[in-house]
Amino acid sequence: MYSFKGADAMKNAIRTCLKNILFVAVLAVAVSGMSAMGGSGGGMLTITAVYVSGANGLNPSDPGWSSAAEVSIPINRFIDFVEGGGGMMDCNMMGDMLNRTLRVKALHNGSTMYIRYTLSDATQDASVGDTDLFGDAIALEIPYARTTTPPICMGSQADPVNIIMWRGDLAAPQNIVAGGIGTVQVSPDNASQNLSRYQAYSKGVWTVIVARPMTAASSNQIAFTRGLSYSIAFANWNGSNTERNGRKGFSSWHTLAVQ
Amino acid sequence: MATIQKQVRMVFDLNKCLGCHTCTMACKSMWTDRNDGQMYMYWNNVETHPGEGYPRGWENLGGGFVDGTLQLNSPLPKIVESYGAAWEYNYDQVLKTGGGDATATHVVPVPAPDGSSAYSSNWQEDIGSGTNPNDSHYFYLPRICNHCTNPACVAACPRKAVYKREEDGIVLIDQSRCRGYRYCLKGCPYKKIYWNPEEKKSQKCIFCYPRIEQKQGNFCVTQCAGRIRWVGYAQDTNSNVYKLVEKWRVGLRLHPEFGTEPNTFYIPPLSPPTFSSTGGPITNTRRIPVSTLANLFGDNASQTQAQREARIQEIFNILETEREKVRAGGSSELVDILVSKSEADRVQL
């Protein structure tokens, strides 16, 4: 994990970035032979939300989960704020390299969508009970226009995004609307705060399942419709590293296909 | 930055502060007793100097601006270790009335600050520095959010949840916009923003803006038993804050080198002379060293330590000259302002 400190560090970081671009290019060639479902290469990956009638996806042992193929999403970019230089970096910069992997599965039963995350994390951060405590968090981001790929950091005014954010200290995941950096807002209508979750931390691994009705509760939610594909991106915050807001790891755009 | 039409200011006369904490209790009972997450917060606090203050060691934690660049290098102070956990007293174990069982012999805080790193908001109260009786000294320093003209908290927030009102320069945190990132805590060099772990928001002194809007003084101002505070608008030449700061120039900023241009001003405390080290005749040196005061107070960020000390001596000369006029039977506008018997003398809104 790298962090930026000051203008000179910025130049060094850009040099590191360029070295890492070369590294990623080499890596991409090396893994290009792997299949998209289960590969961890640099290309766009597809997560298929399989249909299992009657599945209760909030139960991690539900047999429906065995039908869902797991995709390893690289959380390979990191953005930070500059301690001695005035605040949050521009999120639309490439950011530094990161080595996290978010394993994702998706399942639905025709009325409820379930997204399952498996994430290695040495520390469990499920409390904000002190000034210096931040919660582990995972978010998914889908443009309201469904198949566009807006600026990955909170979309834009013309191409806004729907974000579903799980955080270890929250009783329920938040439904969020955003239209550009600094604009995230928990959607104010109670109807759109209709998410629930399962979470468990054991032996250095988070298992998180986020559930939401497939139909949109309001215009503040994207509808999950069978047969359609969606642009999707993921972000991860490690609470013990004081990650929150833009200080986070994130992926590039991938695809969610709803069976 | 938005154009500030009027700027509220507050002046504190440290020659009059008794350390009674009435201001702290006024603010606490008005604003920070609403939920458990606020119990440890003292938006107004009174700390003894020399001392580490509240939160512990705040002066050296960081934040503010260096050469105009916002610093976000400050650690986030922990509630128990740096502020002190809110406690209750075991009245039910001590009292016989009200259902008490009178099993304990004296009142103690529960939970009690414990161990070598125990701390609380007034842990070092009345301890100060020096040796008794030669040069022992301390004074009280009441602090609120300074509603700075160049607020580091406003600059720190990446989603503009912290803002400075144009109509009066009061700095507020929009609770519906705050997502609890706490960069504002890191940015504030005075550590006057607090984390509410129950509401998951950052919160701070609101300058009693609902009272100010009704032209009532802040509760910490009106309740002050020592009558040490004045509130008014910086540009109002008829206000006592203007007269104290701009006309008589007896008010100094706290740590102006932090670069935020605070809108609170302190009249530094005079103190009696020391004894010599052999207990012999009194000396020409004040008990509270001018250098100690110059470490804390100055006019602006570009003054040297020597310039700050010169300003403090200048203020002492003004105070003593004006006091002497009144002792000799004359009158002094400055002394009249400093006495300020009525609330109207201390509040011009």
pLDDT in tens, B298-338: 999 999 999 999 999 999 999 999 999 999 999 999 999 99
Q: Given this model, what pLDDT does residue A80 score?
A: 86
Q: Is the pLDDT of residue A9 over 50?
A: no
- For residue B329, list its beta bridge partners: none
Complex ipTM over 0.90: yes
Residue B278 makes CB contacts below 8 A (sequence gap 6+) with none
- For residue A83, the chain B residues in CB contact (below 8 A) are 71-73
Minimum-distance CB partner of A131 among B72, B77, B158: B77
Which A residues, 179 through 238, put their C-beta within 8 Å of a C-beta on chain B?
A: 181-184
Interface list for chain B against chain A, based on CB atoms closer than 8 Å:
66, 69-73, 75-80, 82, 155-156, 158-160, 179-183, 185, 194-195, 197, 200
Tell me the C-alpha distance between A237 and A70, whole Å. 21
- Measured between CA atoms, the residue of chain B closest to residue A5 is B73
Q: Is the pLDDT of residue B266 over 60?
A: yes
Rounded CA Rg of chain B: 21
The Cα of B31 is separated from the nearest Cα of chain A by a number of Å equal to: 20
Q: Is the pLDDT of residue B158 over 60?
A: yes
Question: Band of the pLDDT at A79, cuts 50, 70, 90?
Answer: confident
- For residue B158, the chain A residues in CB contact (below 8 A) are 81, 87-88, 181-182, 245-246
Record the tokens describing residue B7, joined without a space: 């700027």
Alpha carbon A168 to its chain centroid, in Å, reads 14
- For residue B67, the chain A residues in CB contact (below 8 A) are none
Record the tokens describing residue A112, joined without a space: 């409820």
Sign of CA pseudo-dihedral B74, B54, B244, B268: negative
Question: Would strands A96-108 and A46-51 be described as parallel, antiparallel, or unpaired?
Answer: parallel
Topology of the domain comprising A40-258: Immunoglobulin-like (2.60.40)
pTM score, whole prediction: 0.90
- Measured between CA atoms, the residue of chain B closest to residue A128 is B197
Q: What is the mean pLDDT of residues B92-112?
A: 85
Tens of pLDDT along B36-69? 999 999 999 999 999 999 999 999 999 999 999 9
Contact B267/B11 with Cβ under 8 angstroms?
yes
**Main-chain dihedrals φ then ψ at residue B153, nearest 5 degrees:** -65, -40
The Cα of A171 is separated from the nearest Cα of chain B by a number of Å equal to: 13
Put simply, the answer to whether B72 touches A84 (Cβ < 8 Å) is: yes
- For residue A132, the chain B residues in CB contact (below 8 A) are 75-78
- For residue B80, the chain A residues in CB contact (below 8 A) are 130
Minimum-distance CB partner of B71 among A84, A184, A246: A84
- For residue A128, the chain B residues in CB contact (below 8 A) are 180, 197, 200
Q: Is A92 on the interface with B (CB under 8 A)?
A: no
Mean pLDDT score across all residues of chain A:
86
Tell me the C-alpha distance between B85 and B38, whole Å. 11
The Cα of B177 is separated from the nearest Cα of chain A by a number of Å equal to: 8
Tens of pLDDT along B217-228? 999 999 999 999
- For residue A87, the chain B residues in CB contact (below 8 A) are 70, 72, 155-156, 158, 183
- For residue A245, the chain B residues in CB contact (below 8 A) are 158-159, 179, 181, 183
- Measured between CA atoms, the residue of chain B closest to residue A86 is B70
The Cα of A181 is separated from the nearest Cα of chain B by a number of Å equal to: 8
> Quick one: which of B50, B71, B54 has its CA closest to B189?
B71
Domain extents in chain A: 1-36, 40-258
Tell me the C-alpha distance between B4 and B272, whole Å. 41
Q: How many other C-beta atoms lie within 10 A of the C-beta of residue B68?
A: 9
Minimum-distance CB partner of B79 among A130, A181, A182: A130
The Cα of B43 is separated from the nearest Cα of chain A by a number of Å equal to: 16
- For residue A130, the chain B residues in CB contact (below 8 A) are 78-80, 195, 197
Minimum-distance CB partner of A182 among B77, B158, B194: B158
B341: left (phi over 0), alpha (psi -120 to 50) or beta: alpha
The Cα of B73 is separated from the nearest Cα of chain A by a number of Å equal to: 5
Q: Identify the three-state secondary structure at position A142.
A: strand
Which A residues, 31 through 50, put their C-beta within 8 Å of a C-beta on chain B?
A: none
Q: Is the pLDDT of residue B201 over 60?
A: yes
The Cα of A129 is separated from the nearest Cα of chain B by a number of Å equal to: 5
- For residue A133, the chain B residues in CB contact (below 8 A) are 197
Residue B115 makes CB contacts below 8 A (sequence gap 6+) with none
Tens of pLDDT along B70-101? 999 999 999 999 999 888 889 889 888 777 78
Minimum-distance CB partner of B72 among A83, A131, A246: A83
Binning chain B into helix, strand and coil, the percentages to the nearest 5 are: 25, 20, 55
Q: Given this model, what pLDDT does residue B87 score?
A: 82
Q: Is the pLDDT of residue A193 over 60?
A: yes
The Cα of B37 is separated from the nearest Cα of chain A by a number of Å equal to: 9
Q: Is the pLDDT of residue A177 over 60?
A: yes
Contact B228/B17 with Cβ under 8 angstroms?
yes
Size of interface A-B (CB pairs under 8 A): 66
Q: Which of A142-156, B78-92, B177-191 has the lowest mean pLDDT?
A: B78-92
Q: Given this model, what pLDDT does residue A92 score?
A: 66
